[in-house]
Structure 1
Amino acid sequence: MKKRSLRRKAPLWLLSAILVCAAAGCTGSTASDAGGDKNVHSGDGDKHVTLLMHFKSATFDPHNDFIPLRAGVTETLTKLDENLRLQGWLASQWEAKGEKTWVFTIRDGVTFHDGTKVDAAAVKASFERAIAASKPLAAGLKIASMEADGQTFTVHTTEPHPALPSEIVSPYASIVNAEAEKSVGKEAFNSAPVGTGPFKVRQFTPNIEAQLERYDGYWAGQPKLQTATVRFNEDANVRAIALQSQEADIVYNIPAESIPSIERNERLKIESVSGLRVHFLLYNQQKPMMQDLKVRTALNLLLNRESVAGDIALGHAAPANGPFNDKLPFGIKEPAQKQDLAKAKALLAEAGYEPGESGKMYKDGAPLELELITYKARPELPLIAQLVQSDAAKAGVTVNIRSVENADTYLAQNKDWDMATYSNLSAPRGDGGFFLNSAYLPGGALNHGKINIPRLTEIVTQLNRTSDSAQRIQLTQKAVAVVNEEIPHSYAVYPNLIVGVNERVINWMPGREEFYILTHTMDVK
């Protein structure tokens, strides 16, 4: 974690993008657009922090949104520590009883925000709610049945599931008082869930903000902060302005081009953390063109990873050689693919495309024209889209860019796209199993391109049944080798997590996992 600023000469396509943005008034928003009053610091002596996030949250339902856990309202049975090792949280210990049974001991002395004791029965009820609310969670946990006895919570799975303790790190596995929902109703509960975290919800305005106050009965000790505000704004320029004007104390996903001006302010700092995320191109294999491996390989060769890392991320990223950061134990050590326009053109020719008089590629009289979906919540992605558009044109490929507000919803509900810029935590549990299952297996929650590679499915299925750590690493790397041969995605860079922080915030650093943001130890000067 360190302050970094790498300045490079911007390429023409990036300069053009910046000029277009300026002409459209991208930086013309006032800081007040970030939401709320100009002075976010409480005037009555309370210790208060304002956190500005880059994605909107339409709900505070902990089983369908990450923000309740990130805001310190809910917690899970297990969590990752700063070294990505699994540790207990609401569970003090756990053990396997045979291949399909796990027994968790629920930590004693924990209460929900309404004072109700957290026991195994409450945990069981919470998981029943979570499984009903979240299909991705249900698919990942593979729970057949559950039992509760005092503080002992037993889970029986439908198949051997050695990774279950790491799967319940998922924010969707947050523990809430499901009984409280029965008295207040689903709508009210999804605006103010009753969790176990250091903060409870005072008021939630969908897509705008959440007002929080500390929970004095928090089991791990009284929180240092008395109140906190979590705000949402997907405009990267507005977020940077909010930090600089001190409307926000902590701002996630600061655009790289804003870093130099922020670092000139001695009251502000940038934390640039090597994370668990990967930016990539996702190919829609529902489209016949994208089913052609030669076309996907050509597009992979057109991707200029070094330009993404250097010219877009300004050094706050590393070229990617697969879905998992090569610094992780299960990441591969091969060099990232270099851009090769000549080879890309040759592959397109093998796929039956020929250049017309204009230089554009044609097949059977139809031009090679692709629809690329992007979204602005992650500021690098639209710029990556423009880089792809520019370099593809050099190979005679026309790329039309369309920006959408909610990429997941659009990609899941529409088939008219060919590829998309996308970003995901590929190792959010400190293990590769989650991403391999959700991104590549048929029916996976992240498999928007309808990928179906039988030999990859076979390896992932074997991984799911394997408990030995060394064998899991080998199987994960074997799966990545298949991914790099079949190219269902083109991996661009491993971006750093870039967070702007006001110097008044103490006892806090952003975590690589991007889960645990507001904590009971966070304080202000």
Structure 2
Amino acid sequence: MHQRISLSATALAAASALLLTGCFAPAGDSATRDGDGDDDGGGRIRLAMLQPPRSGLSPLSDDAFKLSRWSTAETLISLDDAGDARPGLATGWARKSATTWEFTVRDGVTFHDGSELTAEVAAHSLTRATKASPKPRILDGVELTAKADGDKVVVTTAVPDPLVPQRLSSPQLAVLAKSAYRKSGTVNPVGTGSGPYELVKVGGTSTAALDRYDGYWGKKAKAAGIDVSFVPDGAARAAAIRSGEAHIAEAVPVSQASLLDEKTITEVPMPRTNTLYLNTRRGPFKDAGLRAAAREAIDARELVEGVYENRADRAEGLLGPALPWAAEGRAALKGRTKGEAPHGAAITLATFSDRAELPEAASVLQQQLEEAGFEVKQVVREYAHIEEDALAGKFDAFVLSRATVLDSGDPAAYMQSDFTCEGSFNLAQLCDKNVDKAVRKAAATAAGDARRAAILDAEAAVLRTDAAIPMLHERVVQGDAPSVTGSTKDPRERTLVTADTRLK
């Protein structure tokens, strides 16, 4: 087994202290440190986030999940723990025909700019999402229109879509005040959400500040506000919990977990898969035999036991133990391509540094691939500086930690986005008629056992191409200081600080 190189706890602590310097400066005039010890727990919560905003906190991008985790932007529909649709800004809904749904908008909701939620405002937000370029990932392959009819939003799809309610739960389809939407096409979430916290200031890609919104339609927030710092370095996030600089830290690296008090960390099983995407359009992995050779070369046990210190599960497919039905219903995969000898084929293997384990995992993979006969060059950058090249297919292989039910709570949307010809997040550049057919069938099947079976058929179709090699399923470690209570441990990564989160 390849051995990982570890620094001493003392060295890590010293390095983290240096990295931490300046990370947690107040985000704005409202973001003060005062009140942390208030008897009623109403002080401000300091939050260390993993990735800085990539699109100016636009809700039409992946930044939407930050707005959701801060409880500032809300959607018409929410999801329960089982992934079933529940009321949000809509109090009820009904399917009127195969392609038409009606959603009743909640009364008494005001946005942070003082304007009121109406069906017309909700329809406006959805319409802007459908016209965005690029469209939000949740709308990949979906033609959708929205219009107001009294207190209802009428949503119509080009083809029957049994998951419209779940689709509208995606943070990328958050409903904001009309003032958020600019003629330029940009969307500004500052002061335009409807949640228990109002986003009041954004300090570029470094900080953000939110204040409690006393006009909230639901349960009022117990904390006075949230001070966010974006800290891509995992050692610095862990150090922030140790030092008390942060009350909550996202995604503490596995290598840092053992340095923290066990009472301050929670291991959260995630519907997240570490996958090696292989470029099927150009380069050596255009050859199915070489893709198969890469698959045969990879030993995920080394990653689980070495890099992740057994805080992860070996992958049997794209979908992991967070979806128990996947393991129960998955059949053995037969008829796979056999690997060909690489004969020194030169490949570029890339990943990003924001998740501390990924560069280390890439180094292990490099050794395994080189032992199999590939010549490997490695590229590692911050995600914000590598995503564009990855999506453009400039690498032969890319290691990604990918949430499989992030958007609608249903894996079909992830498969549509990542593995179909028109998918907007198709790192493997895959365009395979069998995959497209299987994914379309899964997306069109009504919720329930039949849909789950169709999803597993689509998974098998993807795996047969060897365009994606699932390696392991993560268990994310969240850090919570002893002084905070009520943070959410959400496998879908949609909620984190809620109205119930407070300081003791």
Per the normalisation by structure 1, the TM-score is: 0.86
- Per-residue deviation at 1:12? 4.3
CA contact under 8 A between 2:206 and 2:230: conserved in structure 1?
A: yes
- Per-residue deviation at 1:433? 1.0
2:298 maps to amino acid: L
Cα RMSD for the two superposed structures: 2.7
Q: Within 2, Cα distance between the matches of 1:191 and 1:110?
A: 17
- Per-residue deviation at 1:210? 0.5
Q: Within 2, Cα distance between the matches of 1:519 and 1:507?
A: 8
The counterpart of 2:290, out of the listed 286, 289, 295, is: 295
The reply on whether 1:372 has 2:362 as its aligned counterpart is: no
The reply on whether 1:57 has 2:63 as its aligned counterpart is: no
Cα distance change, pair 309–95 in 1 and its aligned pair in 2 (3 A): same
1:447 maps to amino acid: N
CA contact under 8 A between 2:124 and 2:178: conserved in structure 1?
A: yes
The reply on whether 1:42 has 2:34 as its aligned counterpart is: yes
Q: Within 1, Cα distance between the matches of 2:339 and 2:180?
A: 60
Partner of 2:381: 404
Partner of 1:80: 79
- Per-residue deviation at 1:130? 2.0
Cα distance change, pair 85–489 in 1 and its aligned pair in 2 (3 A): same
Q: Within 1, Cα distance between the matches of 2:140 and 2:353?
A: 29
Q: Within 2, Cα distance between the matches of 1:94 and 1:506?
A: 34
Partner of 2:438: 459
Q: Within 2, Cα distance between the matches of 1:371 and 1:40?
A: 46
The reply on whether 1:393 has 2:370 as its aligned counterpart is: yes
- Per-residue deviation at 1:94? 1.2
Equivalent residues in 2 for 1:451-490 (5 A)?
A: 451-490=430-469
The reply on whether 1:91 has 2:90 as its aligned counterpart is: yes
The counterpart of 2:217, out of the listed 216, 219, 228, is: 219
| Larger deviation, residues 115-124 vs 207-216 | 115-124
CA contact under 8 A between 2:315 and 2:472: conserved in structure 1?
A: yes
CA contact under 8 A between 2:130 and 2:144: conserved in structure 1?
A: no
CA contact under 8 A between 2:163 and 2:447: conserved in structure 1?
A: no
- Per-residue deviation at 1:447? 0.5
Cα distance change, pair 425–237 in 1 and its aligned pair in 2 (3 A): same
Equivalent residues in 2 for 1:169-248 (5 A)?
A: 169-179=169-179, 181=181, 190=188, 192-248=190-246
Q: Within 2, Cα distance between the matches of 1:335 and 1:270?
A: 36
Partner of 1:14: 4
Partner of 2:69: 70
Q: Within 2, Cα distance between the matches of 1:138 and 1:500?
A: 29
The reply on whether 1:423 has 2:401 as its aligned counterpart is: yes
The counterpart of 1:278, out of the listed 273, 280, 299, is: 273
| Larger deviation, residues 422-431 vs 276-285 | 422-431
Q: Within 2, Cα distance between the matches of 1:304 and 1:425?
A: 22
Superposed CA deviations along residues 72-131 of structure 1, whole A, max 9, x for unmatched, are 110111122234332121111111111110111112221111222211001011112222
Cα distance change, pair 40–301 in 1 and its aligned pair in 2 (3 A): farther
Partner of 1:322: 317
Q: Within 1, Cα distance between the matches of 2:24 and 2:155?
A: 43
Superposed CA deviations along residues 339-384 of structure 1, whole A, max 9, x for unmatched, are xxxx99x8333xxx4xxxxxxx3xxxxx312101111111111111
CA contact under 8 A between 2:127 and 2:145: conserved in structure 1?
A: no
CA contact under 8 A between 2:180 and 2:188: conserved in structure 1?
A: no
Report the 3-state secondary structure (helix = DSSP H, G, I; strand = E; otherwise coil) of the residue aligned with 2:340: helix
The reply on whether 1:136 has 2:136 as its aligned counterpart is: yes
- Per-residue deviation at 1:505? 1.3
CA contact under 8 A between 2:44 and 2:224: conserved in structure 1?
A: yes
CA contact under 8 A between 2:141 and 2:422: conserved in structure 1?
A: no
Q: Within 1, Cα distance between the matches of 2:123 and 2:331?
A: 46
The counterpart of 2:429, out of the listed 438, 450, 454, is: 450
2:119 maps to amino acid: A
Per the normalisation by structure 2, the TM-score is: 0.89
Number of corresponding residues: 484
Q: Within 2, Cα distance between the matches of 1:467 and 1:261?
A: 47
Equivalent residues in 2 for 1:288-367 (5 A)?
A: 288-333=283-328, 347-349=339-341, 353=342, 361=343, 367=344
Q: Within 2, Cα distance between the matches of 1:178 and 1:384?
A: 44
Report the 3-state secondary structure (helix = DSSP H, G, I; strand = E; otherwise coil) of the residue aligned with 2:473: strand
Partner of 1:358: none
- Per-residue deviation at 1:278? 0.8
CA contact under 8 A between 1:404 and 1:410: conserved in structure 2?
A: no
2:60 maps to amino acid: H
Report the 3-state secondary structure (helix = DSSP H, G, I; strand = E; otherwise coil) of the residue aligned with 1:275: strand
2:429 maps to amino acid: K
1:400 maps to amino acid: K
Q: Within 1, Cα distance between the matches of 2:165 and 2:189?
A: 28
Q: Within 1, Cα distance between the matches of 2:166 and 2:424?
A: 18
Q: Within 2, Cα distance between the matches of 1:294 and 1:261?
A: 43
Partner of 1:519: 498
- Per-residue deviation at 1:53? 0.9
- Per-residue deviation at 1:67? 1.5
Cα distance change, pair 285–482 in 1 and its aligned pair in 2 (3 A): same
CA contact under 8 A between 2:129 and 2:136: conserved in structure 1?
A: no
- Per-residue deviation at 1:43? 4.5
Cα distance change, pair 180–485 in 1 and its aligned pair in 2 (3 A): closer
Q: Within 2, Cα distance between the matches of 1:479 and 1:375?
A: 28
The reply on whether 1:106 has 2:105 as its aligned counterpart is: yes
- Per-residue deviation at 1:157? 0.8
Q: Within 2, Cα distance between the matches of 1:289 and 1:273?
A: 37
- Per-residue deviation at 1:148? 0.8
The counterpart of 1:29, out of the listed 11, 18, 27, is: 18
Identity %: 24
Partner of 2:481: 502
Report the 3-state secondary structure (helix = DSSP H, G, I; strand = E; otherwise coil) of the residue aligned with 1:347: coil
| Larger deviation, residues 480-489 vs 369-378 | 480-489
Q: Within 2, Cα distance between the matches of 1:369 and 1:162?
A: 45
Partner of 1:340: none
Superposed CA deviations along residues 264-319 of structure 1, whole A, max 9, x for unmatched, are 6xxx5111011111111011112242122221111112222112122111121100
Cα distance change, pair 402–75 in 1 and its aligned pair in 2 (3 A): same
Q: Within 2, Cα distance between the matches of 1:28 and 1:403?
A: 24
